[in-house]
Amino acid sequence: MNMPFYVAPEQVMKDRADYARKGIARGRALVAIRYDEGVVIVAENSSATLRKISEIYDRIGFAGVGRYNEYDQLRVAGVRAADLKGYQYSRDDVDARSLANLYAQHLGQVFTHEMKPMEVEILVAEVGQTSEGDQMFHVLYDGTVMDEQDFAALGGDTDAITERVKAGWSDGLDLAAAVRLGRSALAGEERTLDPADLEVAYLARGNGRRCFRRLSDGEVEPLTTTATS
């Protein structure tokens, strides 16, 4: 009888985490920033059709980095979970926290039980009735959930990006300032990012029932060119 080689559980987990982290670091990053009217998400994405940022529900947005097919599958599952819950109970009962928990359960399950962990990091953002109610949940490949305040960076090189956002962030930024901050934080010192390289969407309190709006390249352009701060 063949005995399988013994591999310490610590080693298995470490290998899987390294694998997932490597996959995520290969992709381009995104940042979510709280501003006066809600949350804006700026992603580096040169594709105009394969999206990283999407609408989940009335006040909830989704952003993912890493492998496209994997986070898109999670996005669709999130839309389904939210629509089913809103249908079964009430639209008011759909919230980002329980959705983030569902994602965490699923990612944790895949991480420990499947051959391959998911190479994704996702963000679930909810815009509240007032700015105190804004929430951002950052879920990692292994199911770790982090409740982010004010801003969050996902993807590769996030430490440097987070530092740059932190340096420029203040309470009560307007949309244009938040988009500029996101763009410069993603670009860093050496590069500049054109509107065509960016995907920008926001959740705003004043948008009616469905708070999610996507900005086209043409709409991003004037936001990024006014007054360099």
Partner 1 sequence: MPMFLPNDDPGANFPALLRRTGLTETGPGGERLGGDIPHATTCVAVRFADGVIMAGDRRATSGNLISHRTMEKVVEADRHSAVAIAGAAGPAMEMIRVFQLQLEHYEKVEGSALSLEGKANQLSMMVRGNLQGAFAGLAVVPIFGGYDLRRETGRVWAYDVTGGRYEEREYVTTGSGSLHAGTVIKIGFRDDLDRSGVLALVAKALWEAADADSATGGPDALRGIYPVVATITADGFTPVADDELATTFESVAEEVRAR
Tokens standing for 165? 């956002």
Count of residues interacting with partner 1 (CB under 8 A): 20
Beta strands 38-44; 30-35: pairing state? antiparallel
Tokens of 200: 């920008």
Question: What are the Cα distances from residue 189, in Å, to 26, 42, 132, 154, 223?
Answer: 20, 17, 32, 19, 20
Q: How far is the CB of 106 from partner 1 (least distance, A)?
A: 5
Give the pairing of strands 30-35 and 151-154.
Answer: antiparallel
Q: Using CB under 8 A, which of 56, 120, 173, 203 touches partner 1?
A: 56
| Position 24 contacts partner 1 (CB under 8 A) | no
Indicate the residue among 69 and 149 with the shorter CB distance to partner 1.
Answer: 69
Helix then strand then coil, in percent of the chain rounded to 5, is: 45, 25, 30
151 in Cβ contact with 195 (< 8 Å): no
Q: Is 164 one of the binding residues for partner 1 (CB under 8 A)? A: no
Cβ of residue 103: shortest distance to partner 1, in angstroms? 7
87 is an interface residue for partner 1 by CB under 8 A: yes
- Give the interface segment with partner 1, choosing from 82-90, 136-144, 149-157, 178-186 (CB under 8 A): 82-90
| φ/ψ (deg, to 5) at 136 | -135, 125
**Least CB distance to partner 1 at residue 160 (A):** 31
Q: Select from 21, 34, 106, 180 the one that contacts partner 1 (CB under 8 A).
A: 106
Helices 217-225, 175-187: axis angle to 10 degrees equals 90
The DSSP code sequence of 59-78 is TEEEEEEE-HHHHHHHHHHH
Site for partner 1 contains 47 (CB under 8 A): no
Indicate which single residue of 103, 111, 141, 151 sits in contact with partner 1 (rule: CB under 8 A). Answer: 103
- Does position 80 interact with partner 1 (CB under 8 A)? The reply is yes
121 binds partner 1 (CB under 8 A): no
Cβ 139 to partner 1 shortest distance, Å: 12
Strands (E), 104-144: 120-126, 135-139
Cβ 205 vs Cβ 38: under 8 Å? yes
* One-letter identity of residue 68: Y
> Which one, 73 or 162, has the nearer CB to partner 1?
73
Judged by CB under 8 A, the residue of 105, 144, 216, 229 near partner 1 is: 105
- Could you list the residues that contact partner 1 (CB under 8 A)? 51, 54-56, 73, 76-81, 83-84, 86-88, 102-103, 105-106
